Structure 1
Amino acid sequence: MSDCLFCKIRDGQIPARVVYRDEQCLAFEDINPQAPTHVLFIPNKHIATVNDITPEDREVVGQLFVAAAKLARERGHADNGYRVVMNTQRDAGQTVFHIHLHLLAGRSLHWPPG
């Protein structure tokens, strides 16, 4: 998508603090962090919302979680805990319509969120 912010980050047209990359996904620091660790994991393939995920996307969506768990371990959050969340549509807080998995860690996270 030519007007997608995250596609532009993926393609290097907009700078970001990239912390992880593989053949299926990219991760970068959130520009408005809500926790000491707040990283966004996006698939390289443009998928607008969770509603648009197809059975063929299982592997790439699963890779977002594998990559998030790997980074959480590397940053020392695996034992104390971390949160992963994916918002869907505006009422849930989705502001960029390219699915992205938030990894939040480094402080006590309360429930329910927002």
Structure 2
Amino acid sequence: MSPGWRRMLAALALLGLALAGGVARAAPPQVDRLEPPHWWVGMAEPRLQLLAEGPGLAAAQVRVEGGGLRLERVERTDSPDHLFLHLRIAAGAKPGVSRLVFEN
């Protein structure tokens, strides 16, 4: 194989690795566990702390979809796989589903 072909093959291999790395980074964060898994409106204490666990989750951005629930802050620890989510349930919140969205 000529040196020109070797260089072109090496360049294509590097391009393939770069593209594969970009696809891997684009995958959404994976939440393996959320504790406590259930909560409800009308609790005496409107503040709620959740533990989210999953590979590399500490690097994720989090937002809430759905009414009646507000994300007050995200607490990151030394672990790359854990996040503590500090939430507040609104006084007039109605029963229903709120979705926590984890994004890179």
TM-score normalised by the shorter chain: which range applies? 0.3 to 0.5
TM-score (norm 1): 0.32
- Which is richer in strand? 2
